[in-house]
Amino acid sequence: MKPLLLQLAWSLIFLLSLGIFNSTQAQTISPPLQAHIDSLFLTWNSTKTPGTVIAVIRDGQVLYQRAYGMANIKKKEPLTTNHSFWIASMAKQFTAMSIALLEEQGKLCASDDIRKYLPELPDLGETVRIEHLIHHTSGLRDGFTLVGLTFKGEKQYTNANVLAAMTRQNNLNFKPGERYEYLNGGYVLLAEIVARVSGMSFPEFTEQTIFRPLGMNHSRFYGNFKETIPGLVKGYGVNYKKGKVRYRQSEFQGNTVGSSGLVTTLADLIKWNENFYQNKLGKGSPTLITKILTPGTLNNGQVSRYAYGLEVAPYKEYLATSHSGSDPGYKAEMVRFPEQKVTVIGLANTDDMYSLTPNLLHVGESVIQNKVIPEIAGFNGLPNKDLSKLTGIYLNSANNQELAIITHENEKLFSATSFNGYKAPLTALAPQVYQNQGLKEYELRFISSEDGQVNTLQQTPIREDGFLLQKVAPQELTIAQLKTYAGKYYSSELKKTYHLVVRKEKLGLLLYKVVFIPFQPIEGNRFLADLIGNNTLVFSSNTAGIPTGFTFNRTAITNLQFIRKK
């Protein structure tokens, strides 16, 4: 965060800590702005689709709230603003608040070594502290991903299994505090720490210390969908068949709290929003709010954008706090502009609502300015003469994780994050500068070298720090060459053997003797694989050139070792 923005953030935190909360006369928003908000969710205003509920709050007053779409498509039950929703990762702010409350009680310290409370975790040569888990800077591998890589199904996503998987890791992704890397499993560890320190279950602790004091009577960490949850809407996934959208009921099959697992309502979240301006939790001190709005600091002194379960970062000229959530069948977001005391909440019963966060940010900006904000105009200058020089495979060589596959068709560029991933159409903002069309979630800037070749791509997500991707060359290997990689490889961390075989002139992973996941070879003795996103296998070989193992890399997993079995 730039110094000026950091100074602004601290000044806002100070104002909030004073408990300043204006009680004004009834407010509303103009009919044109209401119509504009409705237009953003027009697709979901149907009896044949799931939908969303939204609320716009300013100075503690609800200016606008509305429901779009159906709570249960089969039963033709419309959504209402009183329905309950699973909010997925948006729950993390309540987990982080639980840690802050325990620290206020003097029962723990954010700088404590996590092994003080979780001694079963291995000593990996570096001290991982509670604050590292809070700010996603621990360097630990993600427990959910480790469980998922055993291919035993989503039902295995439980707190116990995530903790067990994280106790088996024998290396860190990076030194704690070195960089930010989002880690769902870290918040499972935080929930376990809360339970062990408080002597209560995590759901019980949050009920007694957060929900009950704030009157959030319809909020609870259920963790799963096994019991009947009052007022809960049906969640829906989506299938695309012959250009048509087909919705199917979908919900998280695991059982987890801390990283997710919270069910709540629009009205309860409005009460939660009010507490940021006038704290009623713990000792009622404004310093508690100051703490949870303070971003972490990396080892090099750089301020991160992640505080206590909340992203704190600029959106255009405004500072905003937010945290989205997405699990099968549900999406959620709560965007707060603290200086203007404007908050926009959106809860959806479909995981297909990819535009939720950008739309809520846009609504917030429009409410602040009290007018409809026009869309950013596209680039009107001369187009790039040769789009083919921009196309190719771009990989983050620093961690072998992030990938962008740039293609072009009919004089238009597309970007995908894996070989079988959705090809997002790109809109030109300037020469060699593009944004994903519609969602506007990130910017892509193609960088030319002195000889005019484009080999570097800078990707900057909305309200996040960017990263560099380098163009890598695909490789063509003969069947004989591919067969040298075929064999069985074992990971002691996963307690799992991967069987690599050659089929239809492709090396790939064979699962359960039936499912074949093909690999794409690239330079550097590496292969790319699409397993719900990009995965990069980096092979090592002996002096004879025979592969002896590989490291597996994907989001929140770096250099997971597999050794070839004899």
Task: Give pLDDT tens digits for 513-524.
Answer: 999 999 999 999
pLDDT on residue 12: 47
Question: What DSSP state is assigned to residue 252?
Answer: -
Residue 154: count of CB within 10 angstroms of its CB: 14
Q: Please report whether residue 80 resides in a domain.
A: no
- DSSP tag of 20: -
Taking residues 233-262, what's their average pLDDT? Answer: 92
Q: What is the CATH number of the domain that holds 397?
A: 2.40.128.50
Residue finishing a domain among 450, 472, 494: 472
Mean of pLDDT over the chain: 92
- φ, ψ of residue 382 in degrees (nearest 5): -70, 135
Q: For residues 464 and 439, state if they share a domain.
A: yes
Residue 160 predicted with pLDDT over 90: yes
420-456 pLDDT, tens digit each:
998 999 999 989 999 988 767 789 999 999 998 999 9
Quick check: helix, strand or coil at residue 368?
helix
Q: Are residues 267 and 133 in the same domain?
A: yes
Please, which pLDDT band fits residue 244 given cuts at 50, 70 and 90? confident
Indicate the SS3 state at residue 292. Answer: helix
> What is the dihedral sign for C-alpha 156, 188, 13, 460?
negative
pLDDT at 180 over 70: yes
The predicted model gives 106-110 an average pLDDT of 98
pLDDT band at 4 (very low <50, low <70, confident <90, very high): very low
Specify if 556 maps to a domain.
yes
| Same domain for 488 and 393 | no
- Could you tell me if 156 and 288 lie in one domain? yes
Closest CA to 434 of 442, 444, 448: 444
User: What domain range is 487 assigned to?
Assistant: 479-564
How many Å apart are CA 60 and CA 214, to the nearest integer?
14
Same-domain pairing of 439 and 545: no
* Listed range (440-444, 470-474, 546-550, 557-561) with the worst mean pLDDT: 440-444
- Whether 199 is in a domain gets the answer yes
Amino acid symbol at 255: N
Q: What is the CA radius of gyration of the chain?
A: 24
Which residue bears the tokens 């409350």?
A: 101
Closest CA to 48 of 288, 277, 247, 336: 247
- What confidence tier does 478 reach under pLDDT thresholds 50, 70, 90? very high
List the beta bridge partners of residue 221: 262
Task: Indicate the helix (H) or strand (E) that contains 106.
Answer: none
pLDDT digits (tens, 9 = 90+) for 264-310: 999 999 999 999 999 999 999 999 999 999 999 999 999 999 999 99
Number of domains present in the structure of the chain: 3
pLDDT in tens, 357-401: 999 999 999 999 999 988 665 555 556 668 999 999 999 998 999
Assigned domain for 351 exists: no
Residues 116 and 261 both lie in one domain: yes
Q: What is the pLDDT of residue 21?
A: 33
Region label for 182, one of left (φ > 0), alpha (ψ between -120 and 50) or beta (otherwise): beta
Q: By the 8 A CB rule, do 390 and 413 touch? A: yes
Q: For 202-216, how does the pLDDT look when each residue is reduced to its tens digit (9 = 90+)?
A: 999 999 999 999 999
Does an H or E element contain 414, and which?
strand 412-416
Report yes or no on 514 lying in a domain: yes
pLDDT at 150: 96
Q: How many Cα neighbours within 13 Å face the side chain of 404? A: 31
Where residue 143 sits, what CATH number does that domain have?
3.40.710.10
Are residue 147 and residue 280 in the same domain, yes or no? yes
Cβ proximity of 456 and 396 under 8 Å: no
Handedness of CA 260, 262, 265, 266 (dihedral sign): negative
What is the tens place of the pLDDT at every residue in 12-67? 444 444 333 333 335 789 999 999 999 999 999 999 999 999 999 999 999 999 99
Residue 16 tokens read as 């909030």
The dihedrals phi and psi of 6, each to the nearest 5 degrees, come to -65, -40
Query: Residue 227: is its pLDDT beyond 90?
Result: no
Domain termination site, one of 311, 336, 363: 311
Compute the CA torsion angle 249, 310, 552, 442 (nearest 10 deg).
Answer: 80
Q: Which of 256, 291, 311 is the last residue of a domain?
A: 311
Residue 192 lies in a domain: yes
Mean pLDDT on 82-99:
98
Residues 186 and 201 in one domain: yes
> Do 545 and 412 fall within a single domain?
no
Please tell me the least confidently modeled range out of 95-99, 457-461, 526-530.
457-461
Residue 361 falls within a domain, yes or no?
Answer: no
Instruction: Mark whether 504 and 418 lie in a shared domain.
Output: no
CA distance 151 to 154: 9
The closest of 117, 142, 109, 113 to 129, measured between CA atoms, is 113
pLDDT of residue 440: 73
Is residue 37, in this structure, part of any structural domain at all? no
- 204-213, 223-232, 456-465, 486-495: least confidently modelled range: 456-465
Mean pLDDT over 481-492 rounds to 98
Predicted pLDDT of residue 5: 42
In percent, the amount of the chain with pLDDT more than 90 equals 85
* pLDDT, greater one: 108 or 11: 108
Confidence of residue 245 (pLDDT cuts 50, 70, 90): confident
What residues form DSSP beta bridges with 314? 319
Q: 126 and 210: one domain?
A: yes
Does 439 lie in the same domain as 291?
Answer: no
